[in-house]
Structure 1
Amino acid sequence: MTIDELLKQVLDFRDARDWKQFHTLRNLIASTSIEAGELLETVQWKTDGEIDALLHDPEQIRNLRHECADVFIYLMLVAHTAGFDLVDAAAEKLKLNETRYPVEKAKGSAAKYSEL
């Protein structure tokens, strides 16, 4: 399935339920943040070892997949509502990051670009 096909399914799902009225840009951005918080909860208070073990538990990996999907769906709706292509935006941002984080300065470093 392509991202365009997925977006169509998301919009069809939304429209069948008459939820567009609630999907203002503000509400979609807030919902994205809320869902990202739920994604964070999947690892909250866990050690790195416990998080690694999570990847071998089918129920926990299913929950992780669903939380990632929720964030992704809301990001798609934010981009659609704001009138831009999310894939193009990600590609553009990656190019910008290539200039901010040149390999010769950033390799092996967790420093922010302004600190390189």
Structure 2
Amino acid sequence: MEISSLQAALAAFAEERDWQQFHTPKNLVMALSGEVGELAAEFQWLTPEQAAQVMDDPERAEAVRHELADVFSYLLRLADVLDVDLDEALRDKARLNEERYPVAKARGNALKYTAHQDGT
């Protein structure tokens, strides 16, 4: 499915339940933050090795998939309500990151882009 189709399905779901009144940008951001927290909770206290294997446990895998879907749903709804074209926004951000993180300076390290600027 395309993003716009997913957004239309989520908007219809909300409209059928008269929930669009609650889907303000503030509320959607708060809901998105909460769902990210629930996703993080699935990984809390796991070692890096355990986290890398989380999808091998069917019960944990299902919980992670559900939380990812919740995060994605709220992100799509928020973008729809704010009339943000996520495809365009992602492409713009990717171009900006290519400028901020040139391969020659960023390869193999996790420094913030400001560390790659001349004179720093």
TM-score by length of 2: 0.92
Amino-acid identity (%): 44
Aligned partner of 2:35 in structure 1 is 35
Q: Report deviation, 1:48.
A: 1.2
* 1:1-116 mapped onto 2 (5 Å cutoff): 1-116=1-116
Matched position secondary structure for 1:10: helix
Q: CA RMSD in A?
A: 1.0
- Ranges of 4+ aligned residues in structure 1 off by more than 2 Å: none
Unaligned runs of 5+ in 1: none
AA aligned opposite 1:53: Q
Higher helix share: 1
Instruction: Describe the superposition over 1:47-86 as per-residue Cα deviations: whole angstroms up to 9, x where unpaired.
Output: 1122123120112111111111111111111111111111
Q: How many pairs were matched up?
A: 116
Whole-Å separation in 2 of the counterparts to 1:18 and 1:2:
24
Unaligned runs of 5+ in 2: none
